Chain A
Amino acid sequence: MFIPHSDSDKSEMLKKIGLERIEDLFQDVPEKHRFPDLNLPEAVSEMEALQNLKDLAEVNFSTEDMLCFLGAGAYNHYVPAAVDSIITRGEFLTAYTPYQPEVSQGTLQAIFEYQSLIAALTGMEVSNASHYDGATAAAEACVLAYHHFRGKRNKFVISKGLHPHYRQTIQTYFQGYEKLRIVGYENEIPLPDDDDLLEMVDSDTAIVYVQYPDFFGRVRDFSKFVEQVHEKGALVAISVNPIALGMLKPPGEFGADIVTGEGQPLGIPLSFGGPYLGIFATQKQYVRKLAGRLVGETVDKEGRKGYVLTLTAREQHIRREKATSNICTNQGLIALAATVYLSLLGKHGLKQVAKLNFDKAHYAASQFDQLADFEVVTGGPFFNEFVLKCPMPVEEINALLLDYDILGGYDLSRDYPELENHMLVAVTEALTKDEIDYFVNSLQEVCHG
Chain B
Amino acid sequence: MGEATIFEISSPGRIGVKFPKSDVPSFELPSELERKDLPLPEVAELDVVRHFTRLSKLNYSIDSGFYPLGSCTMKYNPRINEVTARLAGFSKTHPFQPVDTVQGNLALMYELQQWLAEISGFTGVTLQPAAGAHGEYVGVMAIRAYHDDRGDKKRTKMIIPDSAHGTNPASSSMSGFDVVHCVTDERGNVDIESLKSVCDDTIAGLMLTNPNTLGLFEQGISEVIEIVHQAGGLVYGDGANLNALLGIVRPGDLGIDIMHFNLHKTFSTPHGGGGPGSGPVGVANHLVDFLPCPVVAILEPASGDFPPFYGFMEPAKSIGRMKAFYGHFGMMVRAYTYISMYGKEGLRQIAEGAVLNANYLMALVSDHYKLAYQRICMHEFVVEGHWPNAPEVHALDISKRLMDYNFHPPTNYFPLIVPEALMIEPTETENKETLEKFADALIKIADEAVNEPQLLKDAPHNTPIGRLDEVKAAKDLVLCCWIPETET
Contact = CB atoms under 8 A, between A and B. Distances in A.
A424 B93 CA distance: 18
B22 A325 contact: no
B40 A119 contact: no
Interface in B149-178: 160, 165-167, 169-176
B133 A326 contact: yes
Interface stretch (A124-132, A187-195, A196-204, A370-378): A124-132
A349 to B, nearest CB: 5
A392 to B, nearest CB: 16
Contact of A269 (B41, B92, B349, B363): B92
Contacts of A345: 15-17, 40
A359 B247 contact: no
B341 A93 contact: no
Given A4-B431, A270-B91, A50 B84 contact: yes
B186 interface: no
A248 B77 CA distance: 41
Contacts of A35: 247-249, 348
B322 A318 contact: no
Nearest to A134: B324
Nearest to A275: B276
A132 B131 contact: yes
Q: Which of B40, B264, B324, B355 has the most CB of A within 10 A?
A: B324
A341 B161 CA distance: 44
Contacts of B118: 38-40
A159 interface: no
Contact of B96 (A72, A100, A117): A72
Contact of B321 (A40, A169, A271): A169
A4 B9 CA distance: 44
Nearest to B219: A28
Interface in A263-302: 269-276, 284, 287, 293-302
A34 B131 contact: no
A172 B94 contact: no
Interface in B319-341: 319-331, 333, 336-337, 339-341
Given A132-B134, A175-B320, A3 B80 contact: no
Q: Which of A3, A86, A317 has the most CB of B within 10 A?
A: A3
Interface in A391-406: 398-399, 402
A274 B347 contact: no
B33 A219 contact: yes
B362 to A, nearest CB: 8
Contacts of B248: 26, 29, 34-35
A448 interface: no
B58 interface: yes
B5 A112 contact: yes
A110 B54 CA distance: 11
B340 A52 contact: yes
B76 A2 contact: yes
A33 B254 contact: yes
A361 B317 CA distance: 40
B376 A27 contact: yes
A116 interface: yes
Main secondary structure, interface of B, reads: loop
A33 B249 contact: yes
B22 A74 contact: no
Q: Which of B51, B90, B172, B400 has the most CB of A within 10 A?
A: B90
Interface in A326-385: 326-334, 336, 339-340, 342-353, 355-356, 358-360, 362-363, 366, 381
A263 B326 CA distance: 17
A247 B29 contact: yes
A244 to B, nearest CB: 10
A86 B67 CA distance: 21
Contacts of A331: 275-276
Contact of A327 (B133, B144, B341, B469): B133
A74 B480 contact: no
B166 A320 contact: yes
B197 interface: no
Nearest to B354: A3
A421 B4 CA distance: 53
A407 interface: yes
A60 B90 contact: yes
Contact of B92 (A13, A87, A270): A270
A162 to B, nearest CB: 11
A248 B31 CA distance: 10
A46 to B, nearest CB: 5
Contacts of A85: 49
B329 A40 contact: no
A430 to B, nearest CB: 10
A86 B59 contact: no
Given A49-B84, A98-B274, A103-B463, A70 B16 contact: no
B441 interface: no
Interface residues of A, number: 210
Interface string A49-80: 11011111111111110101010111010101
A342 B40 contact: yes
B34 interface: yes
A166 interface: yes
B468 A106 contact: no
Contacts of A336: 52, 272-273
Contact of A316 (B53, B167, B247): B167
Nearest to A116: B481
B61 A93 contact: yes
A40 B134 contact: no
A250 B35 CA distance: 7
B431 A63 contact: no
Interface in B66-125: 67, 69, 72, 74-78, 80, 82-98, 101-105, 107-108, 115, 118-119, 121
B227 interface: no
B92 to A, nearest CB: 4
A347 to B, nearest CB: 4
B455 interface: no
A316 B26 contact: no
A115 interface: yes
A53 B336 contact: yes
B104 A58 contact: yes
Interface string A195-220: 00000000000000000000000011
B32 interface: yes
B6 interface: yes
Contacts of A271: 85, 90-91, 93, 329-330
Q: Which of A59, A165, A221, A318 has the most CB of B within 10 A?
A: A59
B90 A109 contact: no
Interface in B445-488: 460, 463-470, 472-474, 476-481, 483, 486
A7 interface: no
Contact of B136 (A168, A326, A353): A326
A113 interface: yes
A368 B343 CA distance: 53
A298 B472 CA distance: 6
A301 B49 contact: no
A343 B319 contact: no
A102 interface: yes
6 cross-chain pairs, A with B, having the tightest CB-CB distances, nearest first: A57-B89, A273-B325, A43-B343, A333-B272, A90-B63, A273-B95
20 contacts: A25-B352, A53-B336, A61-B97, A63-B94, A86-B52, A105-B464, A109-B55, A112-B5, A219-B33, A272-B93, A274-B327, A298-B468, A323-B173, A325-B174, A332-B273, A333-B276, A342-B40, A346-B41, A348-B15, A362-B24
Given A346-B15, A399-B98, 6 more contacts: A36-B250, A99-B411, A275-B331, A324-B174, A334-B272, A350-B40
